[in-house]
Amino acid sequence: MSEFNFGGEFAWFPTPETIENSHLHRFMRQQGLATLAELQAKSVEDIAWFWDATLRYLDIQFYTPYSTIVDLAGGIAWPQWCVGGEMNIVHNCLDKWMGTPTETATALRWEGEEGVVQTLTYAHLRREVNRCANALRGLGLGKGDAIGLYMPMTPEIAIALLAIAKIGGVILPLFSGYGAGAIATRLADAEAKALFCADGAYRRGRVVDMKATADEALAAARSVQHVIVHRRTGHDIPWTPGRDHWWHDLMPTQAEEAANERTGAEDMIMIIYTSGTTGRPKGAVHTHCGFPLKAAQDMAMVMDVQPGEVMYWMTDMGWMMGPWEVFGTLLVGGAMLFYDGAPDFPDVDRLWKLAADHGVTHLGVSPTLIRALMAHGAGPVKRHDLSRLRAFGSTGEPWNPDPWNWLFQVVGEGRRPILNYSGGTEISGGIIAGNVLTPLKPAAFAGPVPGIAADVVDDDGNPLRGAVGELVIRRPWIGMTRGFWRDPDRYIETYWSRFPDVWVHGDFAAIDADGQWYILGRSDDTIKVAGKRLGPAEVESILVGHPAVVEAGAVGVPHAVKGSALVCFVVPQAGAAASPALAAELMELVAQEMGKALKPQAVIFVPDLPKTRNAKVMRRVLRAAYLDQPAGDLSALVNPEVVEEIRRMGRLVDW
């Protein structure tokens, strides 16, 4: 394992008022616990106590109470939660708030790229969800039926998601940027019976057709019997009579009341597909008492969203943070903001304007976005009143220090915490995160989320401190996936096969001397040069520290002597000359910081890095494109066109 030397000084400290008013403090006080460390220890030593107490804190209501909170008879990889309980999560999201002050509070705010704004209260949202549920039942859809969501981030996608859960169906979120092949694969694998889609979406003032893409996918997904189409853009679209239904024709005639399906707590609520390096996508299975409850726990205990506060996470419903935002905000009585459009259109201040106009209190961003926006300086930020903004959330990829400090100092005015958050689709939220009780260092995490028995281990599975190792989890938690859809062996192989009864997440992590945690990229992105193992984020931080560099990606490629050699891909700043001289300068910069043995074999200038919608850099795609090898599943990329450009640049480099 390589020595870890990221660290730094603490940058943010909570005020006594922040601590006193926090969810965490209230929960600890209710449980008679004095410190966060005491809570963390007890939460993983006695998981039954912790999750039972958390469900009570969140006021999760059951039609039939569970007899046992968790049953581990099937082994640590296959726990059963809320055994014997009957519930429907939509009751807890909407129905239970009726007759309380939350009934008239805002549940969802929406703005379209063209400037249209809509606000739905909890009561209004409930009525629309009931209408949608009645429409689905009228089409013959019900419990156990998988229904796809292929729509932009409009109120209708939240309504549809909740309506599917209400009737006991299975939510199948699909990334709005998918091509037909990716949609077809997922619909067919889940044997979906229906699909919600939109005619199109707006991106930078242009219409992006979605219905034609959906139709192409449906030619290969024969199980889909009904398509419900929301008119978003109004452009002409293909139509299949009998199968296709307009949202605006179907919904207004439905009754405003609808019964919740009485589902078992462990009945499936959602399959979320994640892309793999090889093979078909993995369908993470989630239940009514799983994903939504972990999302709500993290919304409260990590993000500290209070009733009436507004969460805006820049996301797509096809990424887990979309359903996470819907379930999490509604279960804690908060509000969500959706925006359908580009965050820098028609001007670079669009994100800050959104936050100001909608009173955003919690803003979820990615380091990639901040690197792009910081290039425009503080001016666009200072045009807007961000006084309601209380905290940032961040996930998707590791931070580099410079953009973290820019967000914290310029936008956060040195007083708003950046609550770093890392976990995954199969986790239903975070493994490690920041919180509002303990100080934070730049780019760091305060530690594991309560209830998550996280650790960093060496190659033999032993705990490791002060060095880079594997991120693992030693105990089950309520949000863990119930396996991969129709592929239990792949689930076990992916997470449980390396160490006995230990979940190996696949992230490179480290814990410094002050107990702060760091994520340093995917462990399968590990680069090992001449016996020295390093995470790509360390190299990338050095490169983006250069004034001529916007973004960077580092990968290892085969080398006859060293085993692997380091190759770096760099997106230059506007106006910077992508020259051999700059490449040589960057190679020397890495060598000075990391040692001569780790000097890059090549620095390649590219127009963009292959990224998913949540801004994760797909390093395996960089490596495959550079080596002119098959790149695997590219369906999650927002910019697949860049792959061929990287291939072309790779062929021009003599190595």
Domain identity same for 186 and 313 = no
Query: What radius of gyration, in Å, describes the C-alpha atoms of the chain?
Result: 24
pLDDT digits over 441-478, tens only? 999 999 999 999 999 999 899 999 988 899 999 999 99
238's tokens = 């293909």
8 A C-beta contact, residue 152 and residue 268: no
Q: Which residue has the higher pLDDT, 5 or 504?
A: 504
* Cα separation, 482 vs 299, whole angstroms: 21
8 A C-beta contact, residue 447 and residue 40: yes
HSE-CB of 161 using CA atoms within 13 angstroms: 33
pLDDT digits over 573-586, tens only? 988 888 999 999 99
pLDDT digits over 611-633, tens only? 876 667 888 888 888 888 877 66
DSSP secondary structure letter of residue 541 = H
8 A C-beta contact, residue 332 and residue 374: no
Domain annotation covers residue 326? yes
Q: Which amino acid is at 558?
A: P
The CA-atom distances, in angstroms, between 225 and each of 94, 251, 314, 426 are 29, 18, 32, 29
Q: What is the DSSP string of 290-343?
A: SHHHHHHHHHHHTS-PPTT-EEEE---TTSTHHHHHHHHHHHHT-EEEEEES-T
Domain identity same for 488 and 374 = yes
Domain identity same for 318 and 462 = yes
Q: Which residue has the higher pLDDT, 633 or 49?
A: 49
Domain identity same for 161 and 219 = yes
Domain annotation covers residue 240? yes
8 A C-beta contact, residue 416 and residue 392: yes
* Cα separation, 101 vs 635, whole angstroms: 43
- The CATH number of residue 79's host domain is 3.40.50.12780
* Cα separation, 528 vs 535, whole angstroms: 9
Domain identity same for 216 and 69 = no
Domain stop point among 264, 279, 301? 264
Domain identity same for 307 and 397 = yes
pLDDT digits over 81-110, tens only? 999 999 999 999 999 999 999 999 999 999
Domain identity same for 648 and 549 = yes
Domain identity same for 439 and 378 = yes
Q: Judge residue 2's burial from the number of C-beta atoms within 10 Å of its C-beta, 0-12 exposed, 13-18 middle, 19 or more buried.
A: middle
What is the model's pLDDT at position 504? 97
* Cα separation, 616 vs 526, whole angstroms: 16
Domain identity same for 149 and 172 = yes
Domain annotation covers residue 315? yes
Query: Which of 310, 330, 434, 332 has its CA nearest to residue 27?
Result: 332
Per-residue pLDDT band for 1 (boundaries 50, 70, 90) equals very low
Q: Are strands 106-112 and 335-340 parallel, antiparallel or unpaired?
A: parallel
Domain annotation covers residue 563? yes
Domain annotation covers residue 111? no
pLDDT digits over 332-353, tens only? 999 999 999 999 999 999 999 9
Give the pLDDT mean for 252-279. 88
- The CATH number of residue 633's host domain is 3.30.300.30
Backbone angles phi, psi at 593, to 5 degrees: -80, -35
pLDDT digits over 396-438, tens only? 777 888 899 999 999 999 999 999 999 999 999 999 999 999 9
8 A C-beta contact, residue 597 and residue 622: no
3-state secondary structure 231-262: CCCCCCCCCCCCCEEEHHHHCCCCCCCCCCCC
Query: Which of 438, 506, 499 has its CA nearest to residue 474?
Result: 499
* Cα separation, 18 vs 23, whole angstroms: 10
571's tokens = 């997106």
507's tokens = 């992230």
Domain identity same for 341 and 355 = yes
Domain identity same for 432 and 356 = yes
Domain stop point among 476, 506, 521? 521
* Cα separation, 381 vs 21, whole angstroms: 28
Q: Which residues contact 639 (CB under 8 A, 6 or more apart)?
A: 608, 610, 611
Query: Which of 456, 558, 560, 548 has its CA nearest to residue 508?
Result: 456
Residue 278, pLDDT above cutoff 50: no
8 A C-beta contact, residue 429 and residue 324: yes
**Alpha-carbon torsion, ordered 625, 608, 620, 578, to 10 deg:** 70
β-pair partners for 503: 473
DSSP secondary structure letter of residue 573 = P
613's tokens = 């919608």
Domain annotation covers residue 282? no
8 A C-beta contact, residue 438 and residue 446: yes
What is the model's pLDDT at position 277? 43
Q: 3-state DSSP call for residue 5? A: coil
What is the model's pLDDT at position 311? 98
Give the pLDDT mean for 562-577. 86
* Cα separation, 594 vs 598, whole angstroms: 6
The CA-atom distances, in angstroms, between 493 and each of 461, 463, 487, 501, 517 are 16, 22, 10, 12, 26
Residue 2, pLDDT above cutoff 50: no
Q: 3-state DSSP call for residue 471? A: strand
- The CATH number of residue 146's host domain is 3.40.50.980
For residue 199, give its domain range.
Answer: 122-264
Domain annotation covers residue 403? yes
Q: 3-state DSSP call for residue 75? A: coil
Domain identity same for 333 and 417 = yes
Q: Which residues contact 272 (CB under 8 A, 6 or more apart)?
A: 173, 283, 284, 286, 320, 323, 425
Mean confidence (pLDDT) of the chain:
92
Place of tokens 């304007």: 353
Residue 532, pLDDT above cutoff 60: no
Domain annotation covers residue 556? yes
Query: Which of 371, 361, 448 has its CA nearest to residue 404?
Result: 371
pLDDT digits over 337-396, tens only? 999 999 999 999 999 999 999 999 999 998 888 988 998 999 999 999 999 999 999 987
Residue 487, pLDDT above cutoff 50: yes
* Cα separation, 36 vs 29, whole angstroms: 11
Domain count across the chain: 3
